[in-house]
C-alpha cells in the first residue's frame, strides 16, 4: 500500500491512525507544515520501504523504534528540526536492524552530536549518506570504512575535526566525497587514491596541510576537485595532466608554490580552473592555450612572472580571466581580441606596458581592470588619459603619469 500526501500544506502533527496501516510500504508526507515529535508508533510500519518526511517542522529526537522498519530502503528526514546526539540512541544506532537501507538523508537537522563508531554498522547496503549542516562534532570514525556500498558521503558544513581516516580508502565504490566546511586537519591521505570510481572530491574550507597525494593523478575517474581554502603546500599539482575528464580544478587559497605544470594543457575537458591566492611563480605555460573549453581561469594573487602567452588567444571558450596581483610583464597580446566570449579580464597590479587592445571584448572592459601597471595605455588618446588618471590615483608613488603615458 502507498500513501502520498506531499506538498499539501498539511499542518499540525501526524495523524496517529496512519501508523495503524500495517501494510503501508510507501509513505510520503514531504513538503508540508507538519510539526511536533515523530510518534514512536512509526515502529509499527514493519513493511515500510520508502519513508519521506523531508521539508517539515518535526522536532525532538528521531524515535529509536524506526529500527523496527527492517525492510526500509530509503529514509529522508532532511530540512526538519530533529535533534539529539547521534551518540545516544537516536536511530538505536548501535543495534540497528535495518539491513536494506540504501539512502539516509539527515540534511539540515540540528543533531548536535558526534558520529559514533557504530555508524559503520548501519548497513552494508547503504549507498547514500547525507548529513550536511547537522552540527555534528568530533572525528570521522575509522568504522566509516565499513560502509562498503557507499556511493555518496556528504558530511559537509559540520564541525568535524581531526584527520581524514585511512579507512576511507575502503570505500571502493565511492563516487562523491564531500567534507567541505569542517575543521579537518592533517594531510590528504594517500588511501584516497584507492577510490578509483571517485567522481567528485570536495574538501574546501578545512585546515588540511601538506602536499597533495602524488597518486591523485591516477584517479582518472575524477571530474571535479575542490580543495580551496586549506593550508596545502605542494610544489605543484601532481600528475593532474592525466585527468583528461577533469571539469573543475579548485586549489585556491592555499600555500602552493613552484611553477604551474605544463601538463595543465592536458586538461582539455576543464571549464573552471582556480589557482588563485597561492604562491605560484615563474611563467604561465604556453600549453595553457590548449584549453579551448575553459570558461573560468583565475590566477590572481600569485607570484607569476613573464608575459601573457599569445597562445591564450586559442582559449575560445574563455569568459572570465583574472591575472591580477602578479608580476607579469610585457604587453597584452592583441590576439586576445579574438576571445569573443570574454566578459571579465583583469590584469591590474602587474608590470605590463604598451597599448591595451581595443577590439572584441576589450571594447566594454572597465579601466579599473588595468590599473597599477608599469606603463599601460589605451588605443585612443582619451583611453590613455583615463588610464593615466586612474594609475596616478592608485599606483605606487614611484610611478608617474609621464612614465605611464610614454607608450601612447
Cβ count within 10 A of residue 194: 17
DSSP helix/strand/coil, 366: coil
Q: Which of 191, 145, 193, 183 is nearest to 163 (CA)?
A: 183
Q: Show the domains of the chain with their CATH numbers.
A: 1-73 (3.80.10.10)
Q: What's the whole-number mean pLDDT along residues 324-338?
A: 97
How far is the C-alpha of 24 from the C-alpha of 75, rounded, in Å?
Answer: 14
Query: Which pTM was predicted?
Result: 0.89
Classify each residue of 285-305 as buried b or exposed e, where b means 16 or more C-beta atoms within 10 Å of its C-beta: bebbbbbeebbbbbbbbbebe
CA dihedral 259, 263, 266, 271 (to 10 degrees): -20
Size of the chain in residues: 408
- Which range, of 143-152, 289-298, 378-387, averages the lowest pLDDT? 378-387
Segment 269-287, tens digit of pLDDT: 999 999 999 999 999 999 9
* pLDDT at 113 > cutoff 90: no
Looking at residue 194, the DSSP 8-state letter turns out to be: G
Which uninterrupted H or E stretch holds 160?
Answer: strand 159-162
- Determine contact, residues 208/183, Cβ cutoff 8 Å: no
pLDDT reported for residue 87: 47
Segment 172-191, tens digit of pLDDT: 999 999 999 999 999 999 99
pLDDT reported for residue 123: 63
How far is the C-alpha of 304 from the C-alpha of 42, rounded, in Å?
Answer: 62
pLDDT reported for residue 99: 66
* pLDDT at 389 > cutoff 80: no
Binned at pLDDT 50, 70 and 90, residue 64 comes out as confident
pLDDT reported for residue 335: 97
The better pLDDT of the pair 116, 323 is held by 323
* pLDDT at 126 > cutoff 80: yes
pLDDT reported for residue 63: 87
Binned at pLDDT 50, 70 and 90, residue 377 comes out as confident
Q: What's the whole-number mean pLDDT along residues 362-384?
A: 78
Amino acid at each position: 500500500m502507498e500513501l502520498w500526501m506531499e506538498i499539501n500544506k498539511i499542518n499540525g502533527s501526524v495523524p496517529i491512525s496512519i501508523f495503524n496501516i500495517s501494510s503501508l510500504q510507501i509513505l510520503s508526507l514531504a513538503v508540508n507544515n507538519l510539526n511536533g515529535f515523530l510518534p514512536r508508533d512509526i515502529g509499527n510500519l514493519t513493511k515500510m520501504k520508502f519513508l519521506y518526511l523531508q521539508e517539515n517542522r518535526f522536532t525532538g529526537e528521531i524515535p529509536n523504534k524506526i529500527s523496527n522498519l527492517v525492510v526500509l530502503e530509503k529514509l529522508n528526514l532532511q530540512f526538519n528540526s530533529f535533534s539529539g546526539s547521534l551518540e545516544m540512541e537516536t536511530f538505536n544506532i548501535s543495534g540497528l536492524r535495518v539491513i536494506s537501507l540504501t539512502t539516509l538523508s539527515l540534511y539540515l537537522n540540528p543533531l548536535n552530536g558526534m558520529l559514533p563508531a557504530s555508524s559503520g554498522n548501519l548497513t552494508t547496503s547503504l549507498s547514500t549518506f547525507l548529513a550536511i549542516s547537522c552540527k555534528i562534532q568530533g572525528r570521522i570514525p575509522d568504522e566509516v570504512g565499513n560502509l562498503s556500498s557507499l556511493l555518496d558521503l556528504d558530511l559537509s558544513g559540520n564541525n568535524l575535526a581531526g584527520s581524514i581516516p585511512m579507512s576511507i580508502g575502503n570505500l571502493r565504490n565511492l563516487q562523491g566525497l564531500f567534507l567541505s566546511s569542517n575543521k579537518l586537519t592533517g594531510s590528504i591521505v594517500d588511501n584516497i587514491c584507492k577510490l578509483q570510481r571517485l567522481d567528485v572530491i570536495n574538501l574546501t574550507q578545512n585546515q588540511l596541510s601538506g602536499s597533495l597525494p602524488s597518486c591523485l593523478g591516477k584517479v582518472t575517474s575524477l571530474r571535479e576537485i575542490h580543495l580551496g581554502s586549506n593550508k596545502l603546500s605542494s610544489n605543484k599539482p601532481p600528475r593532474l595532466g592525466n585527468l583528461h575528464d577533469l571539469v573543475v580544478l579548485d586549489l585556491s587559497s592555499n600555500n602552493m608554490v613552484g611553477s604551474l605544470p605544463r601538463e595543465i594543457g592536458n586538461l582539455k575537458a576543464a571549464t573552471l580552473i582556480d589557482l588563485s591566492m597561492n604562491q605560484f611563480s615563474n611563467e604561465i605555460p604556453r600549453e595553457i592555450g590548449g584549453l579551448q573549453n575553459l570558461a573560468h581561469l583565475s590566477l590572481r594573487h600569485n607570484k607569476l612572472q613573464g608575459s601573457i602567452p599569445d597562445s591564450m588567444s586559442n582559449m575560445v571558450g574563455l569568459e572570465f580571466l583574472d591575472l591580477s596581483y602578479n608580476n607579469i610583464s610585457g604587453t597584452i597580446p592583441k590576439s586576445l581580441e579574438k576571445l569573443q566570449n570574454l566578459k571579465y579580464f583583469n590584469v591590474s597590479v602587474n608590470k605590463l606596458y604598451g597599448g591595451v587592445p581595443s577590439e572584441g571584448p576589450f571594447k566594454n572592459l572597465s579601466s579599473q581592470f588595468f590599473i597599477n601597471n608599469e606603463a599601460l595605455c589605451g588605443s585612443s588618446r582619451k583611453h590613455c588619459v583615463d588610464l593615466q588618471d586612474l594609475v596616478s590615483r592608485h599606483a605606487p608613488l614611484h610611478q608617474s603619469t609621464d612614465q605611464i603615458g610614454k607608450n601612447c
